[in-house]
Amino acid sequence: MPTWRYWRFTDRGIMMEEPKLLALLKRKADEYISGEEIARGMGLSRAAIWKEVELLRGLGYRIEAKPRCGYRLEESPDKLYPWEIQEGLTTRFVGHNIIYFDQTDSTNNQAKEVLKKAPPDGTLVLAETQSAGRGRLGRAWFSPVTGGLWMTLILKPTLPVADIPKLTMMAAVALRKAIMQVTGVEALIKWPNDLLQNGRKICGILAELSGEADRLTHLIIGIGLNVNQVEEDFPEELRSIGTSLRIALGRKIRRRVLLQGILDQLEKEYLKVSDAGFQGVLEDCRRYSATLGANVIVSDGNRRLMGVAEEIEDNGGLRLLLPSGERVMVYSGDTTIKK
Ligand code: BTN
């Protein structure tokens, strides 16, 4: 089980402490817990307890204080506090170390900072909102507060270097499965690693490597999943191309359970590819593909190719059949599916 940690915000980010008061309140669930009992349990004065209560309220917890009864936790906020994510998390290592930001520039940028401190495998950097979220090909990634999951997973793969790019496909498969399990939404994978719902983008992945080409040390997998935005939340230019789980389902989603499901699936798929290779991931990419069989345009930086997406090969590349009858392989790029 992951250890419980309590994080307080400072102007430089965050620091950790034991979440004693919250743990005490949660243990009693719907009951009141007297100030006396809390004072005994925490070794604090009544005044110090009041300060702790105010701190938890500041974090969004609804705590009722009733004269002669004590305190009761009424409701927890839909926030991604590490202790909320780790409570009930059943992974072996993914998400056991969480770096949380109320707001940051980009969780991928922060993950690169974290890398300097040799973080454990499976460290997760997450933020409620990003001011400079980055997408692929230098695009900006729209990351409004509490609208989605904006996070970066740090992995230390022991795979052959040639296989590492396929980990982004692994992430797409894990996300597809977790979303399906937790919400019932059946998103499709647009090669190489976007997720689409009703033809609109619901999730993007930005993977970046650290280390030298022949001595890669870490892979950071940035994930942006649109969860609770409504149409009007998207900027005008994204409305026809982006969507969210809330739009798909017509209701809000509690992100905590969804995130736990995602971490669980990411770990399962990661352990599978580490033990047995990518065959299963590739099969899932083909099974859940929005791309195969479609007329597509793929831009890979140098070329802009138009054709039918015929196959995802075992090396992760996409085989295209061009109108000339020629077949070409692309190994990375941006795909547009033609209607
Ligand atoms: C894309 O489809 O272009 C990739 C989008 C990736 C966005 C995520 S949000 C969390 C992480 N931090 C970033 O700055 N980008 C990724």
197-234 pLDDT per residue, tens:
999 999 999 999 876 655 667 899 999 999 999 999 99
pLDDT of residue 293: 97
Cβ of 242 closer than 6 Å to ligand 1, yes or no, is no
Low pLDDT (below 50) residues in the chain: 1-13, 15, 18
Residue 287 C-beta-side C-alpha neighbours within 13 Å: 11
Asked whether 76 lines ligand 1 (CB < 6 A), one says no
Task: State the distance from the centre of ligand 1 to the C-alpha of 130, rounded, in angstroms.
Answer: 10
148 within ligand 1 shell (Cβ under 6 A):
no
Task: Give the pLDDT score at 13.
Answer: 45
Distance 224 CA to ligand 1 centre (A): 5
The reported pTM is: 0.92
Q: Give the ligand 1 atom nearest the CA of 194.
A: 2
User: Does ligand 1 have an atom closer than 6 angstroms to the CB of 205?
Assistant: yes
Ligand 1 lined by 224 (C-beta under 6 Å): yes
Q: How much is the pLDDT for 3?
A: 38
Ligand 1 centroid to 30 CA: how many Å?
39
Q: b/e per residue, 64-97, with b = 16+ CB within 10 A?
A: eeeeeebbbbeebebbbbbbbbbbebebeebbbb
pLDDT for res 211:
65
Q: Which atom of ligand 1 is nearest to the CA of 141?
A: 7
206 lines ligand 1 (CB under 6 A): yes
Ligand 1 contact via 128 beta carbon (within 6 Å): no
Q: According to the model, what pLDDT value does residue 10 have?
A: 44
SS (H, E, C) the chain: CCCCCEEEEECCEEEEECCHHHHHHHHCCCCCECHHHHHHHHCCCHHHHHHHHHHHHHCCCEEEEECCCEEEEEECCCCCCHHHHHCCCCCCCCCCCEEEEEEECCHHHHHHHHHCCCCCCCEEEEEEEECCCECHHHCECCCCCCCEEEEEEEECCCCCHHHCCHHHHHHHHHHHHHHHHHHCCCCEEECCCEEEECCEEEEEEEEEEEEECCEEEEEEEEEEEECCCCHHHCCHHHCCCECCHHHHHCCCCCHHHHHHHHHHHHHHHHHHHHHHCCHHHHHHHHHCECCCCCEEEEECCCCEEEEEEEEECCCCCEEEECCCCCEEEECCCEEEECC
